[in-house]
Amino acid sequence: MPTPQDIATNYLAVWNTPDDAERRRRLEDWAPDAVYRDPLMSGTGRDAIAAMIAGARAQFPGHEFRPRGTPDGHGPFARFSWSLAPQGGTPVAGGTDVVRLDGEGRIAEVIGFLDGGCA
């Protein structure tokens, strides 16, 4: 079973991958029917999640997701925080995501929360 740190690192790498084909390849490590939900968007299945991430990346060109703090977890759940910022710049958004893994250690569900500030 992957550690919370592994989960956060691999998850943020999916969001930071600029190439659509490579991002889709990384999503093969997620459950086929994975679900993503946050206050602004949602998607079910790898294709829908790939399209959702591509749309978010188009809104914030040149930005990257960076981990904040130390990921933690228990059982099939991991929780970690992140910031979105232009490379070398000040964060424009931040959030905390809770990930649930399936029995094979793949991401099955992500519930995202947006933090009021960008800390």
Q: Averaged in consecutive runs of 10 residues, what is the pLDDT profile of the chain (119 residues)?
A: 95 96 96 97 97 95 96 97 94 96 97 78
- Asked, for residue 119, whether it belongs to a domain, the answer is no
- Residue 67 near residue 80 (C-beta atoms within 8 A): yes
In what order do the strands lie in the sheet containing 63-74?
A: 42-44, 35-37, 107-114, 93-101, 77-86, 63-74
Residue with tokens 């910022």: 85
Residue with tokens 């800390």: 119
- Residue 116 near residue 91 (C-beta atoms within 8 A): no
CATH assignment of the domain containing 51: 3.10.450.50
Pairwise CA distance, residues 52 & 35, whole Å: 11
Determine the residue type at 50.
A
Neighbours of 107 (CB within 10 A): 23
- Asked, for residue 34, whether it belongs to a domain, the answer is yes
Question: Residue 35 has which token pair?
Answer: 């679900």
Question: Which pLDDT score is estimated for 117?
Answer: 54
- Asked, for residue 31, whether it belongs to a domain, the answer is yes
Question: Which pLDDT score is estimated for 118?
Answer: 52
Q: Give the chain's domain count.
A: 1
Range of the domain at 106: 4-114
